Amino acid sequence: MTPPDDIRDLFERQRAATRAQPDAPLHLRRERLLRLGKLLDEHAPVLAAAVQADFGMRSPRLTEVADFFVLRAQLKHTLRHLVRWSRPQKVRTPLALQPARGRIERQPLGVVGVISPWNYPVQLALAPAMSALAAGNRVLLKPSELTPHTSAQLAALVAQFFAPEEFAVVQGDASTAALVASLPFDHLVFTGSTAVGRKVAQAAAANLTPTTLELGGKSPCIIDADCDLQDAALKIAHGKLLNAGQTCIAPDYLLLPRGSEAAFAEAFQKAVARLFPYFEGNPDYASIITPRHLARLRTMLQQAQTLGAQVKVMQAVPGSPPRPPQGLGDGIGRQMAPVLVFGATGDMQLMQEEIFGPVLPVLGYERLDDAIAHINAHPRPLALYWFGRSEAARDDVLRRTVSGGVTVNDTLMHIAHENLPFGGVGDSGWGAYHGEQGYLRFCHQKSVLSQSRFSMGHLLYPPYGARFERVMALLRRLP
C-alpha cells in the first residue's frame, strides 16, 4: 500500500514537471510509447501469471487475447497515426476576420490520473495510460486492490521503464482510490461500477477536474425473429462467458421473440459445450474474482428462483476431463457454470443491477416495439447488441435507442475497432477513448488566431459614427 504522503509527492512531482515542460516533443512521446511496448513484449508472461494468481483460474491465453492483443493493436495504431494526430489543425477563417488565420493546437493537458478495475487488470490500466502518454501527458495509475499480484507487477515494471515524473503506479485499497480521486488532476479516468463512478465524479468536481467515466450497466441483446439462432447463440455465449461474464460490455440480458425460449436454450447449451466442454478446472474459463462476488451471484439466482424464475444451468459435456487437483489453481471452486434465467421480472436483483457473471436472463417480447420500450425504460447501457437479417428492423432499433456503442450480429467486437470511440452515455459513463478520440480526450485543443498586419479590425473601434454604420451594414450583407 503506497503511503498517502508518497502519493501526494508523486503527484506534485508530475505536476511540477508538466508545468516546467507544458508540451512534450513528438520524439519523446513516441519513445515513451515504445518503452510501454517493450514492457509488454518482455514481461507479458509475468503479467499473465500475475493475473492467473489473482483470479485463481484464468488462462494466460485468455489474458493474451483480452488484455495484450488489445493493447498491442492500440499501440500499433497510435504509433502509425501519432504524427497526424499531433499536427495543428487549420480551420477556415470567416470572411469578416480575414486575412487573419486560425488553427487549433493539440496540447497536453498535464497530469492524467487513471483508476483502473480488476476484470481486465492489464488492458484497462494501460490502455488509457497509453492514450494519455501519446498526447504528451504524465500519468499516475491506481490499479485495483482485488488484483494485488497484477498491481504489484505493474508498479514494479512501470518503475523499471519510466521515471516517476513520467508514469507511476500507486497501490492500495478503496481509501487510496478516494485519495487519488481527490487530487487536482488535469484529467481523471475511472473504469468501474456506476455507484463508485458517482463518488469519483463528486470528488473530482471539487477540483473542477474533467473526467472520463467508463462504467457499466445492463447491456441488452436483442434477437430478431429472422436471425440464425445457432449463430447468434454461439456469439452471445462467447460475449457473455468471456472472463466468466466479468466484462463491462457483456450482454447482460437477452430479449427474444416470445415462444423461442426453448429453441434458444438448446442452441445456447450447444454453443457453451463447443466453447467450454467443462467448467471446473478448465483454464479457458475464468474464475469469479472473489468468494464475495460468487456469493452475490448465487444470492441473485436464489432470489430469482424464490420469486418464480426458472433457472437452467448449463451442463458439461459427458466424458469431459474430471475435476483436477486443487493445486492447479485455487479458483477452481469459483468457476461458476453458465446459467440461463427465464421469467425474470423487474423486482429481482438480477434485473436491477449489472450482473457481472455468467448469468443471462432471457426475456420474451411480442413485438419489437416492446423490446425497444423495455430498453428505453431503463438507464442507458454501455453496449447494445442486435441479431437479425432485416435492415429495417436493425435501423429501427438503432434509431430509437441510445447506448454507448453497438455491435450488430455479434458481441463485444466494437471495442476492438480502433477508429470507433469507446465510451458510455448517461449512467453508463461519459467521455470516450480509443484511437484518435482517446488522443483528443487527453488534449487541450487550444484556439490560436494569428492576426495579419493588413487587418481591418480598427474599422470597428470607437468612436462609433457614420463610418461604423457603413462597415456594419457591409458586414451584415456578407454570406
Enzyme catalytic residues:
214, 248
d(CA 129, CA 112): 8
By the 8 A CB rule, do 261 and 233 touch?
A: no
d(CA 187, CA 449): 26
By the 8 A CB rule, do 51 and 121 touch?
A: yes
* Chain-centroid distance, C-alpha 436: 15
In degrees, rounded to 5, the angle at the alpha carbon of residue 351 between the alpha carbons of residues 348 and 352 is: 90
In degrees, rounded to 5, the angle at the alpha carbon of residue 218 between the alpha carbons of residues 212 and 220 is: 115
Question: How many residues are present in the chain?
Answer: 479
CA of 290: how far to CAs of 38, 141, 238, 244, in Å?
Answer: 31, 23, 22, 13
Which of 369, 362, 403, 366 minimizes the C-alpha distance to 385? 403
At 286, phi and psi to the nearest 5? -70, 155
Total Cβ atoms within 10 A of residue 390: 15
Counting beta carbons within 10 angstroms of the beta carbon of residue 300, is it exposed (0 to 12), middle (13 to 18) or buried (19 or more)? Answer: buried
Q: Is the peptide bond before 99 cis (omega within 30 degrees of 0)?
A: yes
The grid coordinates listed for 332 are 477452481
